[in-house]
Amino acid sequence: MVITIVLFPFPLQGHINSMLQLARILHSLGFNISIVHTQRNSPNPHNFPHFTFNSFPDGLLETEHASESDLLAFIMRLNVSCIVPFRDCLQKVSSNDSEDRVACLITDAVWYFSQAVADELKIPRIVLRCTSISSISAFSALSALREKGCLPIKDSEVDKAVPEVLPLKMKDLPVVHEKNPEDLQQILANTGRETRASAGLISNSSEELEGTKLAGAQEAIPIPFFVIGPFHKYFPASSSSLLVQDMSSISWLNKQKPESVIYVSLGSIASIDEAKFQEIAWGLANSEQPFLWVVRPGSICGSDWLEHLPSVFLEMLYGKGHIVKWAPQQEVLAHQAIGGFWTHCGWNSTLESICEGVPMICMPSFGDQKVNARYVSDFWRVGLHLEDKLERGEIERAIRRLMADPEGEAIRDRAVRLKDKVDQCFKEGGSSYRSLDSLTGFLSSL
């Protein structure tokens, strides 16, 4: 009898990528894969012919999007509107499966409502955390810090170290600037409680990267942990991209010198204002370093795409810069022309860069990105942190430091050594190899 596992991704790009990569890993181990998903941001079933896909309408209006400014409200609304349609869908999937047994449900941690549904249908639930282990600890520390009166962060304390979660400083705590700060407390409380009630936690990280942080996270969440990442390294890149990836990125990179290009992308949610956009553009141009820049439509407040870039900007680049709406990021980072990644430090982007040995310039926006950025710059020391005001002169200097200075050379060496270290985790006896083995045994025993 084949064992079926039902996976339920949260409908945001970074979260969908991790869940579908996990699905591919489990499928390769012989499990049957059934994906239950919202019709919103649906993955393309044609790219995963071996999986069964079951979708349901999430009950929100088409116009209700997950933007940086109301992400938490979006998460909370979905956790209410999906209860009934998800339960109906899961019930159908589990009763349809006449020959194969549904052994468990794996959901994104953010789907905290799904624990009650799993309990009701008597299906064990395992949680996927799409963030780093260090972020789990940082999120867990927030309520105690709030009780101690440390939150909201005081201007005079932004650079103060946080002893509970070193090497983080107060300004790195994963708070989100929201209209309703209580929303974050509510989501963290719900996510924490329902994760502790689940049968186990799967992490897209590796002990080679965050082994020293694992015990602390497990203390906060005393359930079995399976640290089996980085997921994307198990297979060549697969497409769970919600936007069309512009392949001219690769043909343009083919014409550039090895390690000469800085790749710039701020992920799928972060947005910037027009003034910052102009500083980035001029900082890139003035650095005189070739660049590949992803400007996601809608990511600049108040404009559709590049209409506010003066035409003189593009003319003065003389082909040194290439701007696309969305890139095949994994292939880009693996390209020999790439010498650095200016990133918002989403966890997927951070892992993808580490796994290619590409040093980073960190410009985190919100939430766990700030934790990841501090780890990149101060813990693994494989990148620079753009901490001061975003200004073209600072940007130009940071790019030169990373791409042309001896300091950048040292950072690059460390990035290559970190990549080699992470490569070990998949080999026999490596931490992710062993943990995947335990996960297989665990799933088979359910």
| Dihedral pair phi/psi, residue 320, rounded to 5° | -75, -15
Q: Work out how close the CB of 369 gets to ligand UDX at its nearest, in angstroms, rounded to a whole number.
A: 4
- Distance CA(66)–CA(247), nearest Å, equals 26
Please report whether residue 210 would count as binding ligand UDX according to CB under 6 A.
Answer: no
Among 349, 353, 432, 435, binds ligand UDX (CB under 6 A): 349
Among 31, 326, 380, 426, binds ligand UDX (CB under 6 A): 326
Residue nearest to ligand UDX (CB): 346
- Distance CA(104)–CA(5), nearest Å, equals 5
Binding mask 364-393 for ligand UDX (x = CB under 6 A): ---xxx------------------------
Please report whether residue 329 would count as binding ligand UDX according to CB under 6 A.
Answer: yes
Give the footprint of ligand UDX on residues 293-312 (CB under 6 A). Answer: 294
Tokens of 352: 């993808």
Question: For the chain, what's the residue count?
Answer: 446
- Distance CA(250)–CA(348), nearest Å, equals 20
Residue type, 286: N
Among 175, 327, 371, 386, binds ligand UDX (CB under 6 A): 327
Tokens of 79: 């956790």
Among 195, 204, 241, 432, binds ligand UDX (CB under 6 A): 241
Angle at 193 between CA 187 and CA 197, to 5 degrees: 140
Please report whether residue 131 would count as binding ligand UDX according to CB under 6 A.
Answer: yes
Q: Work out how close the CB of 96 gets to ligand UDX at its nearest, in angstroms, rounded to a whole number.
A: 31
Q: Which residues share a beta bridge with 303?
A: none
Tokens of 296: 């996601």
Q: Work out how close the CB of 329 gets to ligand UDX at its nearest, in angstroms, rounded to a whole number.
A: 3
Q: Which residues share a beta bridge with 102?
A: 4
Give the footprint of ligand UDX on residues 86-125 (CB under 6 A). Answer: none
- Distance CA(265)–CA(285), nearest Å, equals 16
In eight-state DSSP terms, residue 272 is: B
Please report whether residue 203 would count as binding ligand UDX according to CB under 6 A.
Answer: no
* Number of shown-chain residues binding ligand UDX (CB under 6 A): 27
What region does 97 belong to: left with phi over 0, alpha with psi -120 to 50, or beta? beta
Please report whether residue 229 would count as binding ligand UDX according to CB under 6 A.
Answer: no
Please report whether residue 347 would count as binding ligand UDX according to CB under 6 A.
Answer: yes
Give the footprint of ligand UDX on residues 8-47 (CB under 6 A). Answer: 12-15, 17
For strand 261-265 and strand 291-294, is the pairing parallel, antiparallel, or unpaired?
parallel
Please report whether residue 269 would count as binding ligand UDX according to CB under 6 A.
Answer: yes
Query: Which residues form the interface with ligand UDX (CB under 6 A)?
Result: 12-15, 17, 130-131, 241, 245, 265, 267-270, 294, 326-327, 329-330, 346-349, 352, 367-369
